[in-house]
A = this chain, B = another copy of it.
């Protein structure tokens, strides 16, 4: 196995000593020790937290081997010098590596290198006293086999519980905060933030519930930063009523009336609305009126709670206990999201309840706020950043939407998020309207909500699939220029729910903002990665937030690579790069000829396929999208042979695709309407990473002792497969100019067309083939009409342009 640690901060010796003192590994007692053997023994004694007697300590010590034939007790009692090899033999066991599997007592250093573990500097084959201190320092910062640094694994065993109640400020080790705040003494309070809008039209400014968890010590002077997660889901969801408004996707594509719209014609302009007056403050309170028990927590936040951060959850307008209605990502939702930050930063009012008008301030806040969360949660973090709101220092946007059109639409088509055909903005609004879960509250707004939901349904305009004013209001790109917060992006290169275009546009959209931007791209789908063994994601975020929110100069900006990308070929491999999807990347143009992708001159042919399937097959594919996907791509399967065009290269040299693949076609439809879909495929028998991570250890990760746990996971190689889809794209043939203007389409007339596929980063191994599949109905994402439409391509005018990664791994 291999570890990939990006968040170890290089530390000078004096700082190492100070930090070892701070965390009580160096004490007034053992600083007197001059013999490395004795000091090492004392370090081990301190770290064997379970032993309360000499006998138990020695019993534990003798359970480790120091050499191939001597256990650690025997070794330390019989040697005058501490060999580097014996140190690392014991260290590997402390890190839970297994001599039957991971290393040999004959060559611990070889294993350390192979696993990619830090070997501390040493002049000779034995450690000097100072070398030992330094080696112990770095050992504490090194990840074990279970996805944690050694110091964090000690924390999980209770190392820091003696610090509880005895610290006035965050405790740092190697640039990262340690869990010295008792999570069971957490203060939990609810406040109601008054937002500057009235989205449920009740004549009062919307009050928004915020749930706050903060360290007990913040009651007595400690000012703490906030991790704020805006989650429309976390007060509950309406799965059944949401299901009821799902749309039927088994309908034909409709012809659209051509128009000549310009962007200004559809541009969203915020309406001027007269606002109700602010509430009159009756009095002030320092203590909240309302508490809560089990928040719907985000595991990354759980980790930080014991480390001196406040955690704030708010679900926003239209959710349980808040006012307002759901709008699925429009500027009102951004205002709702931002209101909480404004309160945390001291720039907005909140009340202890919804009726008494007693104001309560975030008097414990250090006014530095970060936003966390995945998917819709990360989306709202991005949205908030585009407001430029004061106090928001950074957002960690995981698998986030950056334009809702790129979530529910593409190229003038309704394109479902993967796995959710029929979902749309209205469905999501209904699902997240958790005010419905409180029937007494919902009763008041039901008629207004029914009307507003219908408005969303109408304006999202499934009939055309066009970009319109509704979607322009939900496009955060327009306000990227306002982003002042540093942004750390995380996205799955196999995320077909929130597709990679969303993160690519954010990555490339803020290059000139002057903020720090970092990105981590993994091989997962729509998941979070803070419990993976092979990358120290949690440590990275710790280093990052310690830097951003505690004003600590821990070099996070330099240490964390700008771009980290998980390799799709080698497991447990995360590479550093200087950029992703740079528009200046070199390109390879492949022409289409016969069934080949070729860099030679194209042939002039007209190739045709039909979209229609026999009804049995159509029905089977409707119910089994996986079977359809397999039959579409699998060369040896004949079911889809006449319903697609398939072009492949010859075997190629290793090629790393980096960015947006573009397809240029001359295409005709047999009807006056049409749509095309595209998939880029890696063909070649190989073991590939499985689609979903493997559970390595249920509840295997705890941020501190006796506290919430996460499941340790890792991507593993599966059985060999013949192919893998790299990326895909879709376009309506009536949206050849852009997604808002509708072009005419004469039957059997050829038109030029350019399409951008979803951005990617993909290593095609040597001797594989690159394949392009052109088809129409995408059973997982488009409508499915099974109409008798034929599509023709003129190969002479058609090609595919592939951006190539030229940078080396850094």
CB A208 to nearest CB in B, in angstroms, measures 14
Contact indicator A98/B62 (Cβ below 8 Å): no
Question: A59's contact among B52, B156, B353, by CB below 8 Å, is which?
Answer: B353
Contact indicator B290/A441 (Cβ below 8 Å): no
CB A624 to nearest CB in B, in angstroms, measures 10
How many copies of this protein are present in the complex?
Answer: 2
CB A1 to nearest CB in B, in angstroms, measures 11
**Given the known A-B contacts A55-B356, A100-B240, A355-B59, are A294 and B702 also in contact in the complex, defined by CB atoms under 8 Å?**
yes
Question: A293's contact among B51, B157, B353, by CB below 8 Å, is which?
Answer: B157
Question: A63's contact among B99, B289, B355, B441, by CB below 8 Å, is which?
Answer: B441
- Residue from A59, A238, A321 having most chain B Cβ neighbours under 10 A: A59
Closest to A439 in B: B65
Residues of B contacting A627 in the complex (Cβ-Cβ under 8 angstroms): none
Closest to A441 in B: B63
CB A146 to nearest CB in B, in angstroms, measures 11
Contact indicator A240/B440 (Cβ below 8 Å): no
**Given the known A-B contacts A99-B439, A289-B55, are A294 and B65 also in contact in the complex, defined by CB atoms under 8 Å?**
no
Question: Residue A50 at the B interface, CB < 8 A?
Answer: yes
Contact indicator B157/A443 (Cβ below 8 Å): no
Contact indicator B289/A56 (Cβ below 8 Å): yes
Question: A290's contact among B56, B65, B184, by CB below 8 Å, is which?
Answer: B56
Residues of B contacting A288 in the complex (Cβ-Cβ under 8 angstroms): 52
**Given the known A-B contacts A53-B353, A353-B53, A355-B59, are A71 and B293 also in contact in the complex, defined by CB atoms under 8 Å?**
no
Question: A100's contact among B238, B353, B443, by CB below 8 Å, is which?
Answer: B238
Residues of B contacting A691 in the complex (Cβ-Cβ under 8 angstroms): none
Question: A291's contact among B52, B356, B436, B437, by CB below 8 Å, is which?
Answer: B52
Residues of B contacting A294 in the complex (Cβ-Cβ under 8 angstroms): 156-157, 702, 705-706
Q: Mark A183-211, 1 if CB is under 8 A from B, else 0.
A: 01000001000000000000000000000
Closest to A438 in B: B63
Question: Residue A101 at the B interface, CB < 8 A?
Answer: yes
The residues in A between 92 and 142 inclusive whose CB is less than 8 angstroms from any CB of B are: 93, 98-101, 105
Contact indicator B290/A443 (Cβ below 8 Å): no
- Bound form: Cα–Cα A352–B53 in Å: 9
Question: Residue A292 at the B interface, CB < 8 A?
Answer: yes
Contact indicator B354/A59 (Cβ below 8 Å): yes
Contact indicator B49/A293 (Cβ below 8 Å): yes
Residues of B contacting A156 in the complex (Cβ-Cβ under 8 angstroms): 293-294
Nearest 8 CB-CB pairings of A with B: A71-B440, A63-B438, A157-B293, A53-B289, A65-B439, A55-B353, A63-B440, A56-B290
Interface of A toward B, CB cutoff 8 Å? 49-53, 55-56, 58-59, 61-65, 69, 71-73, 93, 98-101, 105, 156-158, 184, 190, 238, 240-241, 288-294, 321, 352-356, 436-441, 443, 702, 705-706
